[in-house]
Structure 1
């Protein structure tokens, strides 16, 4: 009996979907536009976040030690710095390693190599490279390294050299997050209002059918479910159409983004076709079903 009941509800929903094909097409088109906006927002946010994250990983502050400081003392300071709650990682580069790296970098520059050979000692200091967990934590790390207990060992902290870059990146990250969240909120509200009004119009056009169903003793859920089935059909149809539009866009845009930014944005998990399709289906179902339920309960007084 229940299977017959479910079959009739699904059949009624499908019949109503095809019977009012132009209204269904309009609702589906609205859902496609909404999903496209959501998807493009997610793609833009993901690509910009990946690019900023890639740049962020290249940013650090370097701590230069005085030439007379013993390596054991530097290791002690390194351990203390790693204990800072803001520090993600540190890398120690000895004076000898710094000189070897410098020579390797300028191996084809005869003038630099001749100048280094004429020096009696190593002109490069031991260095500690420090990476913060977040960009906005670098000022605090630099301030902690300027405490009196470190002054006799540390010659220079190059935070000031990178300060403008770090602060600019921090502002960009903050702006991208705020704009992304704001756009999602605005378009979510627009989608809910549009779908709500679409379902309400659908119900209005079928008000005589609903009254007849009530007169013959149909239950509230039996009246509601065909409209919910319709909203699910809108969601599925819109998701399929949107993903078919998304695939060529991604295939065209992502390689160009990767070339321009110097990173492989296609490897970002959220940009895989499977995740995007699941995201689109989920958003469409949530918006469609919730909007239809609200419209049904408000208009039909159920």
Structure 2
């Protein structure tokens, strides 16, 4: 326990001894975490919205006109058996005709000669998918059901949504990796400066038999503390930035759902604190390995 207290004391001493470098390291890590967090949160919200759009992208299945309404309804269990179909909704052709009249409004008179006996519309099903990447296979399964006359699906729209989703995921991943490397590099240089300033003390410690980890731990703790402080400050800044983005985007982009920060704050705090500590420890370990002849 006494040795553990020594590690923390020395780690904190290193931070205050090189105040400017420590502040610079914290500031740069905060900037990196905010950039990474903002890009990741935006990508996450876009990803959720795209998934919602994909699932709301309906497939309309027209039923053979030779089948009665009752026979058409009896096909529903066959659609439900297809694993990738999320929802199945039957639309009676007579109900569809009435809806069409309502949509036409003042022009509904053009349909006055049509009724249930000579309805030009067909019974149909409106389907949504669980996974839009499997749209083609699912449409093939639908077309194989006896009684299906035609299937209408906006496959081009589905494909474009999937492409957008992939692009944002790749950009977010690239940003996370790039900014993580920058953070580790900054911490590494900060710890390296502390080790260089204490090179004579380190040499004496090694001469009197101090283990490598006894020498390493204060610097590891220094990096971890810098990372945790940066993570906490980045969390507070991200909270304000995301809240502002939420209020702006909510009115400008109505088709995309932006999750409120309250539903994400504990996850963001845990990730920022964990990432900050990990980057700090990673930077310290990298610097120690290069500096010490062990």
SS class of match (2:284)? helix
Match of 1:140 in 2: 137
Residues 139-158 of structure 1 correspond to what in structure 2 (within 5 A)? 139-147=136-144, 150=146, 153-158=147-152
SS class of match (1:131)? strand
One of 153, 157, 164 as aligned partner of 1:165 = 157
Match of 1:266 in 2: 259
Matches of 1:209 and 1:201 in 2, distance apart?
A: 14
Matches of 1:75 and 1:5 in 2, distance apart?
A: 76
Matches of 1:85 and 1:134 in 2, distance apart?
A: 10
Residues 73-92 of structure 1 correspond to what in structure 2 (within 5 A)? 73-92=71-90
1:131 aligns with 2:123: no
> C-alpha deviations, 1:94-125, integer Å up to 9, x for none?
2233234444555xx1321x333332333332
Residues 34-113 of structure 1 correspond to what in structure 2 (within 5 A)? 34-106=32-104, 109-112=105-108
SS class of match (1:62)? strand
Matches of 2:70 and 2:290 in 1, distance apart?
A: 74
Matches of 1:206 and 1:71 in 2, distance apart?
A: 87
Structure 2 residues not aligned, in runs of 5+: none
CA shift, 1:166, in A, is: 1.7
**TM-score, structure 2 as length reference:** 0.88
CA shift, 1:64, in A, is: 1.0
One of 207, 212, 215 as aligned partner of 1:220 = 212
Matches of 1:45 and 1:16 in 2, distance apart?
A: 38
CA shift, 1:242, in A, is: 1.1
CA shift, 1:301, in A, is: 3.0
1:288 aligns with 2:289: no
